[in-house]
Amino acid sequence: MSSSNILVEMRDVQYTYGANQKPTVHIPEFSIVRGEELFLYGPSGTGKTTLLEMLAGVLKPQQGTLKILGCEFSQMSAAARDAFRAEHMGYVFQNFNLIPYLTAQENIELPLHLSAGRRARLGSVDSEMVIRALCGTLGIGDILGKKVGELSVGQQQRVAVARALLGKPDLLLADEPTSALDTDHREKFLKLLFELSDLYGTTVVFVSHDRSIEKLFTRSISLESINKVV
């Protein structure tokens, strides 16, 4: 596997909350390949959220190197990491993904307003058309003008996916987004997600404690196997 295929590269990454405690995360070596659908599982307290937030650039590794798309995160300023996240990443939460006082469409458009880089990824195409097409695929084309409060949980998750994938980001980070859905909807949701991520060439990193869906991913890894602390 050539190095240009590597999206995320971690070496000796450590993160500790507070002082004089043992680290929450210590990953000697780990990498994520471009285009894969990675399932990271582990019980609570194994550092899932910490790892995700480091990948998102919200937390900065205190030791070691974390490279995404060749950029060294540990040497970037917080604002630079925020800008990088806006341009290259989508994020889907476990629940409460949307800003309640905006419509579905306004929620989806948010990253475009916050990041010129993300806007540039759309090319010269009218963003309205891209959103319509994307939402048509996700089956939420008819609810774009609705207030978030009027949407079902399933619809909200799909709006969140539309926001995360708009502008074909390099990396999609998902924090147990299916835990609020039943088994049937869970599989449908993931299939739809992978269809789009394959189409866009987006790498998916999905963390969960629920292993019933791992067979749908291209790779499944236990967090305990890469985190030396636990």
Partner 1 sequence: MVFLKLAIKSLKNRVFTTGLTVLSIALSVTLLLSVERAKRAAEEGFTQTISKTDLIVGARSGPLQLILYTVFNMGNATHNVSYESYEDIKKNPAIEWTIPYSLGDGHRGFRVVGTNEDFFKYYHYRGSQKIALAEGDVFKGLWDVVVGADVARKLNYKLGERIIVTHGVTKGEGVQNHDDKPFVVSGIMKPTGTPLDRGVYMSLQGMEALHIDWQSGAAPTPENAVPREQLNKDTLKVHTITAFFVGSKTRIDTLRLQREINNYKEEPLLAIIPGVTLSELWNGLSYVEGVLRMISWMVVVVGFMAMLIALTTTLNERRREMAILRSVGATSSQLVGLLVFESALLTLLGVISGAVLSLVLVAALKPWLETEFGLYLTGSGFTAREWVYMLVTLVGGTLIGLVPAMRAQRLALKDGLSVRL
52 binds partner 1 (CB under 8 A): yes
Q: Give the integer Cα–Cα distance in Å for 154 and 51.
A: 26
Q: Binder to partner 1 among 115, 157, 178, 203 (CB under 8 A)?
A: 115
- Could you tell me how many residues of this chain bind partner 1 (CB under 8 A)? 31
Question: Does 130 interact with partner 1 (rule: CB under 8 A)?
Answer: no
**Runs of H (alpha helix) within the chain:** 48-56, 78-88, 104-114, 116-121, 127-138, 153-165, 183-200, 223-226
226 binds partner 1 (CB under 8 A): no
Binding track over 135-174 against partner 1, x by CB under 8 A: ----------------------------x-----------
Q: Judged by CB under 8 A, does residue 70 bind partner 1? A: no
The DSSP line for 167-208 is T--SEEEEESTTTTS-HHHHHHHHHHHHHHHHHHT-EEEEEE
Contact between 19 and partner 1 per CB under 8 A = no
Q: How far is the CB of 109 from partner 1 (least distance, A)?
A: 9
Measured CA distances, 84 to 23, 123, 151, 162 (Å): 26, 18, 30, 19
* Residue of the chain from 43, 72, 101, 211 that contacts partner 1 (CB under 8 A): 101
CA distance 154 to 37: 21
Interface residues with partner 1 (CB under 8 A)?
A: 49, 52-53, 56, 58-59, 78-79, 82-83, 85-87, 91, 93, 96-102, 106, 110-111, 113-115, 118, 163, 175
